């Protein structure tokens, strides 16, 4: 781990915050489904002199000189990404997942075109057409939902009927809070029937697809995949766009640069290359498998203890607790309560939620970060017991303080990559 001696001297306030964050991560349990820990190698790469280099353009076609080594790392990132996801083309320059989606939209659509995406309250993402985003001023969004919130099954029959009526130019698969696996083949069949391009936003499950524990949308004929490079993929914060056919990749490249972004963040591109290299190793497949094993075990244990989960379980790395049905408490109350004992998760709306987004009925939690720390099935039960004890003791400040100390002791057995204590 870096010593941060220069930072300590130059800016003690920032250094103090950094040390505090390292302590928080070490002594707490990270169960936010979209968060993870990167390896020391990825962490090192993000603080390199690649930060000093402007690299507008693409390898071999840059606008500035001095690109020998930036070209090398970007080409490595591209080739490793293609290998991971069976893609014909990869653009590794998007700064984040949302910009990747925006660039994808403008590459494949014209203003006024219709996009069919998952309803936010049923698990979709803001960039899939939520009214608060600027995208809805440019494109028309229609939504699909679950048919049965007890099983999580998407209503593919209704989806087809709406598609036949509205004739979307794009059908978008993907989610930020959906515990089941989508049927890409059914979506592709509907898209073919109406002449729509198919896009999968796999930001949450990219690592599980790379690790071969969830299905790859390309194998069911999807045209494009967008993703973040952190979350289950355990890379730096950033985005990526993949295509099944190389010709489509040319449109994507033009949309990312010069259409939407300027120069890539080269230290992040280099870190992506390192993370993709790690994901190609057999150890990563074992990690991805354990993420899902842990998630399913935690979900089953919670349900045995009387906790109500949306869709009654999970097929991936995340789950949603209906806090109202479980404990007659709101999601915000549970988020705050668990934070007090050192367990971090996030409040989240559930399907057909009657409460407001900042005080919804549910919370979302996941297993990617805790699995990275080496936790397995027995630790899932321990974490569930911590949470259930916190709910039962929520009016007892002394009991909560004692429980927080127990969580700290538990966490010290599982080091965070890149942090030494």
Q: Which residues are catalytic?
A: 54, 56, 201, 228, 231, 237
Pairwise CA distance, residues 397 & 346, whole Å: 22
Instruction: Measure Cα distances from 132 to 3, 60, 119, 177, 239 in Å.
Output: 42, 39, 13, 18, 21
Asked whether the beta carbons of 366 and 318 are under 8 A apart, the reply is yes
> Look-up: residue for tokens 């293609």?
82
3-state SS assignment for residue 414: coil
CB contact at 8 A, 360 and 331: yes
State the residue for tokens 């996801």: 85
Q: What are phi and psi of 379, to 5 degrees?
A: -70, -30
Q: In angstroms, how far apart are the furthest CA atoms of the chain?
A: 64
Ramachandran class of 418: left when φ > 0, alpha when ψ lies in -120 to 50, beta otherwise: left
* Integer Cα distance of 382 and 320 in angstroms: 18
Q: How far apart are CA 139 and CA 121, in angstroms?
A: 20
What kind and span of H or E run contains 364? strand 362-366
First-to-last alpha carbon distance for the chain, in angstroms, is 10
Return the closest-CA partner of residue 123 out of 294, 310, 388, 260. 310
Cα-based angle 338, 339, 342 (whole degrees, multiple of 5): 95
Q: Is 305 helix (H, G, I), strand (E, B) or coil?
A: coil
DSSP string computed for 48-61: SGGGG----EETTE
Identify the three-state secondary structure at position 11: coil
Residue ranges of E strands in 124-174: 140-144, 146-148, 153-154, 170-174
């Amino acid at each position: 781990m870096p010593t941060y001696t220069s930072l300590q001297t130059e800016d003690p306030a920032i250094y103090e915050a950094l040390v505090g964050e390292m302590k928080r991560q070490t002594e707490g349990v990270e169960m936010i489904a979209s968060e993870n820990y990167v390896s020391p190698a990825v962490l090192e790469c993000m603080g390199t002199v690649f930060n000093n280099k402007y690299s507008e353009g693409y390898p071999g076609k840059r606008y500035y000189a001095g690109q020998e080594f930036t070209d090398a790392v970007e080409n490595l990132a591209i080739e490793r990404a293609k290998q991971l996801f069976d893609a014909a083309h990869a653009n590794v320059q998007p700064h984040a997942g949302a910009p990747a989606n925006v660039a994808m939209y403008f590459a494949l659509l014209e203003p006024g075109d219709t996009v069919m995406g998952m309803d936010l309250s049923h698990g979709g993402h803001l960039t899939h057409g939520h009214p608060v985003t600027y995208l809805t001023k440019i494109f028309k969004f229609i939504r699909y939902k679950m048919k049965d919130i007890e099983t999580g099954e998407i209503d593919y029959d209704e989806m087809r009927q709406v598609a036949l009526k509205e004739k979307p130019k794009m059908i978008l698969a993907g989610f930020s809070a959906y515990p089941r696996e989508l049927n890409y083949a059914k979506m592709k069949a509907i898209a073919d029937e109406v002449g729509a391009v198919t896009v999968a936003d796999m930001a949450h499950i990219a690592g599980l697809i790379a690790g071969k524990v969830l299905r790859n949308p390309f194998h069911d004929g999807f045209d494009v995949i967008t993703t973040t490079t952190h979350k289950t993929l355990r890379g730096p914060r950033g985005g990526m766009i993949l295509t099944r056919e190389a010709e489509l990749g040319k449109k994507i490249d033009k949309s990312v640069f010069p259409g939407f972004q300027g120069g890539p963040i080269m230290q992040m591109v280099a870190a992506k290359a390192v993370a993709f290299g790690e994901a190609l190793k057999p150890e990563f497949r074992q990690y991805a498998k354990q993420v899902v094993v842990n998630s399913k075990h935690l979900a089953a244990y919670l349900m045995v203890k009387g906790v109500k989960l949306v869709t009654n379980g999970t097929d991936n790395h995340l789950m949603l607790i209906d806090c109202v049905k479980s404990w007659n408490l709101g999601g915000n109350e549970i988020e705050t309560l668990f934070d007090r004992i050192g367990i971090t998760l996030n409040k989240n709306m559930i399907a057909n939620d009657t409460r407001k987004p900042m005080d919804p009925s549910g919370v979302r939690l996941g297993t990617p970060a805790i699995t990275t720390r080496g936790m397995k099935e027995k630790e899932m039960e321990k974490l569930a017991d911590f949470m259930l004890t916190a709910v039962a003791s929520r009016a007892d400040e002394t009991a909560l303080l004692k429980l927080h100390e127990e969580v700290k002791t538990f966490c010290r057995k599982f080091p965070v990559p890149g942090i030494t204590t």
